[in-house]
Amino acid sequence: MVPFMKEEFKPYIPADKVTPEMTPASIIIGIILAVVFGAANAYLGLKVGLTVSASIPAAVISMTVIRIIMKKDSILESNMVQTIGSAGESLAAGAIFTMPALFIWAKEGVMDKPSLITITVIALFGGLLGVFFMVPLRSALIVKEHGVLPYPEGTACAEVLLAGEKGGSSAKSVFIGMALGAVVKFITDGLGLVKSAFTFKLSPLKTEFSSEIYPALVSVGYICGLKISAYMFAGGILGWFVLIPAIVTFGTDIVIYPASVPVAELYATGGASAIWSSFIKYIGAGAVATAGIISLIKTFPTIVKAFSASLKGVSKSSKNKTATLRTNIDLDIRFVLISIAVLIIMIWLIPAIPVTVVGAILVVIFGFFFSAVSSRMVGLVGSSNNPVSGMTIATVLIATFCLKLTGDAGAHGMQGAIAIGSLICIAACMAGDTSQDLKTGYILGATPKKQQIGEIMGTVAAALAIGGVMILLDSAFGFGTDKLAAPQATMMKMIIEGVMSGNLPWALIFIGAFIAIVIELLGVPALPVAIGLYLPLELSVPIMAGGLIKFVVEKINGKQNDDSGKGILFCSGLIAGEGIIGVVLAILTVTGITEVIDLSSKIPSNDITAIILLLLICGVVYFAASNKKNASSGKAKNGKK
């Protein structure tokens, strides 16, 4: 483990030593990884509502290229690669949690489809605000609080890079995982040789059991671990084995809003899936929204302390004019403040961003507040437990009420609320990622100014790519469908519609809200359970399988928290490979090529082959993770919630 020494901390590369850091190689590799992991995580987040970190896989890949292929010995170059590369994943997370709502509204005829410029500009401005908001906080959070705020993901990434410096490398696990994930995705969704899911009807229970077989879902479960996976699976059981049978049993000839036909007829024609889409998703949305707000309320004392401590730290740091060491140099604060002011004015004035002056003011207030909170929270509890969903829900609620009160209702007000939520969600995600990367750099002895420039580069690259990726995925699969559920964005859409028009099945939403409250009162964190309730069961099942594999591996190998070992890296590769092929297949779908290569009509598949493939995937993940020579330290970033 990297030791925490609050006084006279000495980084791995001394402050008086200058080594290659921001080089053409590190910039090019970092930008490529920012785009690749950003696209892959966008696909994953739109499908399952969770994203995973790119920092450690990016660090491992950079070590392979820079140390092994290019024969260069420069740990700070590898650190720059992961700094730039991880920006893509964080920006993608903030974007796909909110902006798909605009596409869904367009399909419903509420408004025009968002343009590429609108998506790109919102993503770019939100990402830059997050990076700039973090700059004045670095000294207070990273330097002054060293030894107090552990920043688990940032420390884990430093450990991986230090291990590589000593000769160890696990890049092979990442690349093998990428290849396998890509092959399975292409076989199932490209060639159609194996069904991507299997379903068993359980007529006595008036429901069904189903599971998708994608490696990425098993990998998410492995990365999150058994506890989180079990919570999500419990939510799925509650929805599909309690609520759906209850609705079908007691509803019979009753017409329940928002359905327009009796429950019995709905079940007879569409099965349990029709009951889920008509009722359970609203109950789940109420549970997720309430759980997000509960997580925000639970952390509110910490949030207040974090914000006040951050401001005090900035005040003290501003009085220190002697920070001339290379490891203490940040971007010029005057440049940062001017940039923030220009961005806010542009958010208000640029027609492509549907935000009024009221919205721009909300972005300033909530943007800086939640960026400061996010930066400190990830230092305390890690990115996995950072309540970004709660922050975004609170922002969207307040923004929608404010816009409605000022007369900005209807389609424009709905667009504005999502735009404000997107900007702040992206800013909070980027601020948290930036703080983790700066922590890694602080341990290794990187130059903060160069890392901050690297974050800007990664933000720009990812923002230029994310718009095209989102438009492509929506054109190929459709947001809010079975293929890409876009769960968080769909929930934000429901909240805004509810405030603006009141046309929501509030009874179902309040049922979900009180389910979340009951779960929380039982001492169980409600958010992962609520996410499992909100998502189809077929997603929770493979995630649970991954969590069980992680549990068995830890029990047999006698190790705990092996979150930077080959298992995590292999699963990260599986997710990246599947996500990349998902984007490739979207291109092939739009161009009509998938119809040519699809062999499902010529070579029929069945549930048995799908089950066998899922079992093979689980076996491969277990085999890859169970090597006792794996690294056994640190924590990788789990899914953002």
Q: List pLDDT tens digits, range 415-435.
A: 999 999 999 989 988 998 899
Match 């994930």 to its residue by tokens: 181
Q: In the structure, what pLDDT confidence band is assigned to residue 50 with cuts at 50, 70 and 90?
A: low
Q: Is pLDDT above 50 for 169? A: no
As a whole number of angstroms, the distance between CA 253 and CA 247 comes to 11
Residue ranges in 207-332 assigned as alpha helix (H): 215-224, 226-238, 244-251, 263-275, 281-298, 300-318
pLDDT of residue 53: 66
- Cα distances (Å, whole numbers) of residue 197 to 30, 458, 502, 536, 571: 35, 35, 36, 12, 20
Terminal CA-to-CA distance of the chain, rounded, Å? 27
Lowest-pLDDT choice from 16-30, 35-49, 142-156, 450-464:
142-156
Greater confidence (297 vs 232) lies with 232
- Cα distances (Å, whole numbers) of residue 256 to 224, 248, 252, 268, 286: 37, 11, 10, 15, 17
pLDDT of residue 458: 93
On whether the CB atoms of residues 92 and 42 are closer than 8 A, the answer is yes
Pick from 367, 115, 485, 535: nearest CA to 493: 485
Q: Is pLDDT above 70 for 248? A: yes
Lowest-pLDDT choice from 66-75, 81-90, 510-519:
66-75
pLDDT of residue 318: 52
On whether the CB atoms of residues 486 and 480 are closer than 8 A, the answer is yes
Report domain extents, the chain: 182-294+486-625
Dihedral sign (CA 131, 90, 485, 370): negative
pLDDT (average), residues 129-151: 81
Q: Is pLDDT above 60 for 563? A: no
Residue 12, helix vs strand vs coil = coil
- Cα distances (Å, whole numbers) of residue 368 to 136, 193, 252, 316: 11, 50, 51, 18
Q: Is pLDDT above 90 for 276? A: no
Q: Is pLDDT above 90 for 125? A: yes
pLDDT tens digits along 379-405 = 765 565 565 766 777 788 888 888 888
On whether the CB atoms of residues 236 and 532 are closer than 8 A, the answer is yes
As a whole number of angstroms, the distance between CA 246 and CA 507 comes to 16
- Cα distances (Å, whole numbers) of residue 495 to 27, 102, 534, 566: 40, 13, 14, 41
pLDDT (average), residues 460-468: 92
pTM attached to this predicted model = 0.75
Q: Is pLDDT above 60 for 194? A: yes
pLDDT of residue 561: 46
Q: Is pLDDT above 90 for 461? A: yes
Match 């920070």 to its residue by tokens: 323
Q: Is pLDDT above 50 for 4? A: no
pLDDT tens digits along 348-360 = 999 888 888 888 8
Lowest-pLDDT choice from 168-177, 472-481, 606-615:
168-177
pLDDT of residue 128: 95
pLDDT of residue 535: 80
Greater confidence (318 vs 510) lies with 510
**How many CB atoms sit inside 10 A of residue 379's CB?**
25
Q: Is pLDDT above 70 for 105? A: yes
On whether the CB atoms of residues 461 and 90 are closer than 8 A, the answer is no
Q: What angle do CA 295, 549, 540 make, to 5 degrees?
A: 50
In sequence order, which residues have a C-beta less than 8 Å from that of residue 388 and are 6 or more positions away? 93, 94, 97, 374, 425, 428, 429, 432, 640, 641
